Structure 1
Amino acid sequence: MELDDAYANVPYIPGGAQYPARWTVAAEAFRARLLDERRAEIGIAYGQSARQAMDLFHPKGAARGLCVFVHGGYWLRFDRSFWSHLAEGPLGRGWAVAMPSYDLCPEVRIADITRQVARAVTVAAERIEGPVALAGHSAGGHLVARMAVAGVLPSDVAARLHHVMPISPVSDLRPLLETSMNEQLRLDLATAEAESPVLMRPLPVPVTVWVGSGERPAFLDQARWLAEAWGAGHEVAGGRHHFDVIEALDDPDSRMTAQLLG
């Protein structure tokens, strides 16, 4: 359809098709190390379906707070197991890290996924005390932005929000009506508007929208739209594309990790 190419990333990233395999190798090695150190809890259920589960990684010593990372994949693919290594940065700053999976379209709708992620954040926050920071990539960026809107998280959890970082988010779902993936997303104008953070008012919490300078114009637009609508911080990472923009999360000293956690 008309906007399929605009929202396609793999053809425009050198070696783009190889990234999932690379993520898997790094994530598996990270989980093995954390399990050996007894700092990983794998497959904590937060809902009834098999995919409603999370992994929880613990820092050395008492946690300063909870960081939740929500994966992307256009609400259609991937799960938490691809991204475990991105917990390295927050762990190095003393934060516990939760990484949830969620049910995928077309079995569920995007609004259902929003509710699932809110439940995952709530369950993780029941286990870890202190402030809560949220980061999500692509569709995950959409989902953490939704958590920053009143009425999505329970009020006691929302009151603990420290920082929300949508990374390369899809903040306005209306353009997706003009893509072939909508056959699986099953959006119409009303449901696209109802799930578009750019059309919503955020909670009074710090928000930084992050995007790579080398991303597709559609994602640069999506990030800018959200930052402008919310009056949020807007970081454009030089030389980064849609797949490597998240790599800074594995470094405790990166600008991204520091901005998210302080």
Structure 2
Amino acid sequence: MELDDAYANAAHIAGADAYPARWAAKAAAFREAMSETGHARLDHAYGPGAREALDLFLPRGEPTGLCVFVHGGYWLRFDRSYWSHLAAGALARGWAVAMPSYDLCPDVTIGKITRQIARAVTTAAAEIYGPIALAGHSAGGHLVARMAVAGVLQDDVAQRIHSVVPISPVADLRPLLKTSMNAQLGLDMAAARAESPVLMQPMDIPVTVWVGASERPAFLDQARWLGEAWECPVVEAEGRHHFDVIDALAEPDSKMVQALIG
């Protein structure tokens, strides 16, 4: 369809096919190491479904707060098991990190996934006291942006939100109506508008939009649209594309981790 190539990331990244296996291997090694030291609580349910579960990684000592990372994959693929290693940056700074899975389209709607992530954040917040920082990548960037809108999270959790960093977010879902993947996403114009953060007002919390400077023009546009709509900073990470822009989450001293937890 008209915008298929515009939103095709892998086709424009050298060696794209190797990334998922590499992510999965790093994540598995990280979970094993954290489990061996007693700093991982895996498969913590936040709902009745098989995919409604999260992994919680704990720092040494009392956590300063809670960071939640929501994965991407166009609401169609992946789960939390690919990304565990990205918890390293916040953990090294003393924050606990939760990583939820969620149901995928076409089995559920994007609206239902939004509600699942709200439950996941609420469940993790009951385990860890203190401020809450939210980060998400691509479709996950959309989902954490939705958490920044009043009424999505219950008030006692929303009041604890310290910062939100949508990374390469899909902030306006309307263009996806012109992609072949919408056969699985099941969006119509009303549903796309109802789930587009660019058409909503955020709560009064710090939001920093992050995107790789070498990403597809459509994703640069999406990041800029959200920055303009929400009047928040947009960081374009030099030399980074859609698949490696998230690597900075594993680095304690990165600018991305600084924006997320200060």
Shorter chain as normaliser: what TM range? over 0.9
What is the match of residue 8 of structure 1? 8
TM-score between the two structures when normalised by the length of structure 2? 1.00
Separation in 2 of the partners of 1:15 and 1:232?
Answer: 33
CA deviation string 1:149-174 (max 9, x = no partner): 00000011000000000000000000
Separation in 2 of the partners of 1:48 and 1:109?
Answer: 17
Percent identity, aligned pairs only?
69
Q: Which amino acid aligns with 1:192?
A: A
What is the match of residue 99 of structure 2? 99
Separation in 1 of the partners of 2:11 and 2:221?
Answer: 19
What is the match of residue 28 of structure 1? 28
RMSD: 0.3
Separation in 1 of the partners of 2:59 and 2:48?
Answer: 28
Task: Report deviation, 1:259.
Answer: 1.2
What is the match of residue 137 of structure 2? 137
2:196 equivalent to 1:196: yes
Task: Report deviation, 1:78.
Answer: 0.1
CA deviation string 1:153-208 (max 9, x = no partner): 00110000000000000000000000000000000000000000000000000000
What is the match of residue 48 of structure 1? 48
What is the match of residue 73 of structure 1? 73
What is the match of residue 243 of structure 1? 243
What is the match of residue 63 of structure 1? 63
Q: Within 5 Å, give how 1:154-165 maps onto structure 2.
A: 154-165=154-165
What is the match of residue 208 of structure 2? 208
What is the match of residue 253 of structure 1? 253
Separation in 1 of the partners of 2:172 and 2:93?
Answer: 32
SS at match of 1:256: helix
What is the match of residue 37 of structure 2? 37
Q: Which amino acid aligns with 2:64?
A: R
CA deviation string 1:56-110 (max 9, x = no partner): 0000000000000000000000000000000000000000000000000000000
Q: Which amino acid aligns with 2:9?
A: N
Separation in 1 of the partners of 2:134 and 2:187?
Answer: 25
Task: Report deviation, 1:11.
Answer: 1.1
Runs of 4+ deviating beyond 3 Å: none
Structure 2 residues without counterparts, runs of 5 or longer: none
What is the match of residue 229 of structure 1? 229
Q: Which amino acid aligns with 1:213?
A: A
Task: Report deviation, 1:233.
Answer: 1.3
Separation in 1 of the partners of 2:87 and 2:212?
Answer: 20
Separation in 2 of the partners of 1:122 and 1:209?
Answer: 23
What is the match of residue 172 of structure 1? 172
SS at match of 2:210: strand
SS at match of 1:162: strand
